[in-house]
């Protein structure tokens, strides 16, 4: 079963911008931030945190749940125009690594909390290109990163 294009767009508007649905569903006024994570393996539908992070300074990064310039998200397609997508309005920089651990982030995730033990993962997917991390590297998701419904 698939979602309609309008519903895909509405879901992204509710989750990432905190807007009410055009179909009359209201947003949850609870959280004002979404938390981005990086993984060295697919967290899957269960939202596994086993491969999250990978260096000592790693932490999830808060991104405002809005469409305010430079701090939130933009929904990249209009209702009825095909698959809806969302991208950050500014770069999402993770803490710079200061130790000598190396690895590769292959997946990103979106969470409703900063808690690393949380099972409240709402999106995850492959990062292309992958992000290699090592000493003095600041892992970054750019405005070219996107999440697509469908």
Q: What is the DSSP letter of 21?
A: P
Q: How far is CA 93 from the centre of its chain?
A: 12
Choose between 62 and 1: higher pLDDT.
62
pTM score above 0.75: yes
What pLDDT digit, counting tens, does each position of 57-102 carry? 999 999 988 887 678 898 876 555 567 788 899 999 999 999 999 9
Work out the pLDDT band at 25, boundaries 50, 70, 90.
low
**Four-point Cα dihedral 84, 22, 20, 123, nearest 10:** -20
Residue spans of the domains in the chain: they are: 5-143
Distance CA 120, CA 110 (A): 9
Give yes or no for residue 29 having a pLDDT over 60: no
Angle of CA points 3, 12, 74, to nearest 5°: 140
pLDDT of residue 1: 37
If residue 5 lies in a helix (H) or strand (E), which one and from where to where?
helix 5-17
């Amino acid at each position: 079963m698939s979602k309609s294009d309008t519903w895909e767009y509405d879901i992204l508007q509710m989750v990432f911008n905190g807007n009410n649905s055009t179909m009359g569903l209201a947003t949850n006024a609870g959280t004002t931030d979404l938390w981005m994570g990086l993984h060295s393996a697919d967290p899957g539908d269960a939202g596994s945190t086993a491969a999250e992070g990978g260096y000592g300074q790693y932490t999830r990064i808060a991104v405002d749940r809005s469409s305010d310039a430079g701090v939130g998200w933009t929904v990249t397609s209009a209702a009825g125009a095909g698959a809806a997508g969302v991208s950050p309005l500014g770069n999402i920089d993770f803490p710079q690594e200061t130790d000598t651990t190396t690895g590769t982030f292959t997946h990103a995730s979106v969470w409703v909390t900063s808690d690393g033990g949380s099972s409240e993962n709402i999106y995850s997917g492959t990062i292309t290109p992958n992000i290699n991390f090592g000493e003095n590297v600041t892992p970054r998701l750019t405005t070219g990163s996107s999440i697509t419904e469908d």
